Structure 1
Amino acid sequence: MAESESENRPQQQQQQPASESLPTASQAQTPGPRASRLIQVFDQALARTLRANSYSNFASCFPTPARHVPASLESVWRQLNAKLEESARAEFEEIIAEREAVQHLNELDRLVAEARARREKESENGNGTQSVNPPHTLGADELYNAHLTPYLQEAQSTLNKTLESTHAQNTELAQTVQAQRLEIEKLLSHLETVVTDIDGAASAATQFSKEHHIRQDAVQMDEEVNTQPSV
């Protein structure tokens, strides 16, 4: 127990400078409204996390030590929570320092205050001109449409050009198909004429062949008659 207390003292001594490192990270600046709110949200989230890791929940995971050595188990639980809180705060403060979150949030506070002051001054000294809505006052839908409209217009223009080109190509293809269809009809008509001529030639050849065979038969019969001896 004495060793655990001696180990906890350096941790507590190291924890105190770490908690004070936020204001001293920049000697000329202290956390403004937004930075303070960020730290407050972190503290609340860490507190809820530590409350969720209560001793009853921790002891329910180790029922045997909870019955026999509850004091030792409670000491382990306290050391675990202290270590968890210390490491979480150290990591959070390291991120705050690396990202210069306090300086940036304070700069944002300053810019917002200056913009609000300018708007109030312009409102007091207004000359009747129509006011323009500042970007930070626009809603999510308006900002979304404002960012998306240029891309949609460009996409629409590209799509229109593509459609026009496709329509021209389709027209050209239709004309080509029509010309090929007419050519095919002409070829079919010519082919029908050729087929008719061939059929006529075939019929004439068949008729000639039949007449030729008849003539040959007649000549052969005459020859046979002439070759027979007279009675």
Structure 2
Amino acid sequence: MSETMSTEPPPTEPQPADAVEDSNHNNNDEARDAPGSPPLPAPHTAVTPGPRAARLQELFATSLTHTLNKISWENLAACYPTIAANSPSLLKGVRQTMVERLETMCKREFERIMDNRAVIPKLNELESLVSEAIRRRESAPAGTEPPTPPHLLPPATVLQAHLSRPLTASQSHLNAKLQNIQAENERLFSEIQAQRAEIANLASALERVCADVDAANGLLREVIDEVAAEAREREVEMAAT
């Protein structure tokens, strides 16, 4: 490997006062024009890792340590013998910085993958499933045939197993909706019955009023002729006087 590392950084030229002032002015303008910061994400809730999740984390830590140990002083000195001979402290500092940065980046990426994939909750759920399977196997009566492996089940059984939970939730929702509709129908039926009873009462009262009017008309027919003759006589008398 060729020696490409330099021992000293290149010198930087001083900037004029006007350039520094213009740069600060531009930075202030950019800070004013920058949009508001986005809202903070929801706080992360830590999940206690189970045995499998803890073992995965231990395996990652062991593998990372084993990998970083490959960047040893001996291997790095063999790649850069001149720098190792003339400036060993500089090369050791570079190695230490490289190892620490790689370790930080690997751990950050590992944690990001663990969070995005929800590895710990899923492994904990697997722990629960395994524990439940062991409990069922131990509590099964003697002579019970072992269950059929999932890969040997017929398609209809597998489909039913996958759809049972959402179908149960949908059925519960529909049952609740049906009960609400039935209660509303009963309320409307009671209201209609009350309105029908009120209509019947009003019709009976109207029939009684019509009967009273007919009776009054019958009584008036008996005296209407006498009243008309008397009225005509009164008119004649008034005309004569």
Tell me which structure has the larger Cα radius of gyration.
Answer: 1
* TM bucket, shorter chain: 0.3 to 0.5
Could you tell me the TM-score, scaled by structure 2's length?
0.43
- The structure richer in helix per residue is 1
